[in-house]
Amino acid sequence: MTVALAAPVRTLPRAPGLAYEPKFDGHRLVVLRTVEGVTLQARSGRIVTAAFPDLAAAAHHLPAGTVLDGEVVVWHAGRTEFALVQRRAAAATAARAAVLAQSLPASYAAFDVLELAGLDVRARPYERRRALLVDLLLPLGPPLQPVPMTTDPELAETWYETLPASGIEGLVVKRLDEAYPVGRRAWRKFRHTNVRDAAVVGWTGTAQRPRALVLVLPVGDETPLVSSPLTAALRTELAAALAARAPAATAGGATVTAIGLGEVPFHPLDPPLTAEVRHTSTRHPPPEVLRLRADL
């Protein structure tokens, strides 16, 4: 199932006929409820049903022939924590996934319905799909729930300013009259300015156990920077991505200057990947890698 995408904007769009949703800090997830059962699909197309048995069980209450688009999040101490979603997604066994489902229960923030009772509704305007989504999920309740939505830009701006304390990383803006834009960046995302997409041009460590990423940020002089150390979940994800590439794409060696470390050897990556990073300035402190972009 190919999902819709969003293009970044630097200011909040304001025009009649727009809808605003909080952008949750989680993993993109498509829920497919068929007559046979439930399948959970990541944005990359990878099937992750086994990693989220709690969401799969909840999705069995949906009518057969339902497809939802949304974000899986994990709440902790009143805010969503992306690192905890990564821990859930990295569960290697059914037993481990079951334990994590108890200690770190997942929630599903649904923002679109693509199919309902076997009927493809992607061609219908967002405003109508939104009404169908709310009617479908409100009677069920958590952990499946629709994301908040407003058509008031002033309220949306208040969300943008106040909700980061809850782990919300920005807003997604959609046209009320728009069909679901399969595979296109027709939506707009207005994120807080310290979160950006960066090109991953290499990595330090080994292909089996990478330690950090070498990044080119979309601001500054395009000088490569070394990220802060990767989390265990990101190391595992990057190692899998490197293993899937042809040897020529991950061969060779180079050096890069890292703040406080001098010259650091690294392995170039061609073509680059893309990572979402958080940074407060171009060089100080080193960028923190939040996630690899799953569509690469």
Instruction: Answer yes or no: are the C-beta atoms of 9 and 190 closer than 8 Å.
Output: yes
Contacts of 206 (CB under 8 A, 6+ apart): none
Q: Please, what are the averages of pLDDT over each run of 10 residues along the chain (296 residues)?
A: 89 95 90 96 89 96 97 89 82 91 95 96 98 96 95 95 83 97 93 78 90 81 82 89 71 58 78 81 69 62
Secondary structure class of 89 (helix, strand, coil): helix
* 170-175 β-sheet, strand order: 6-8, 187-191, 170-175, 18-22
Looking at residue 295, what is its pLDDT?
44
Convert the pLDDT of each residue in 100-129 to its tens digit: 999 999 999 999 999 999 999 999 999 999
Detail the DSSP E strand segments found in the chain.
Answer: 6-8, 18-22, 27-33, 38-42, 66-76, 79-80, 106-116, 119-120, 144-146, 170-175, 187-191, 195-205, 210-216, 225-226, 254-258, 262-278, 288-292
Identity of the amino acid at 131:
A
Please report the pLDDT score of residue 282 as a whole number. 44
Q: What is the pLDDT of residue 219?
A: 63
> Environment class of residue 254 by beta-carbon count within 10 Å: exposed (0-12), middle (13-18) or buried (19+)?
middle
| pLDDT of amino acid 257 | 55
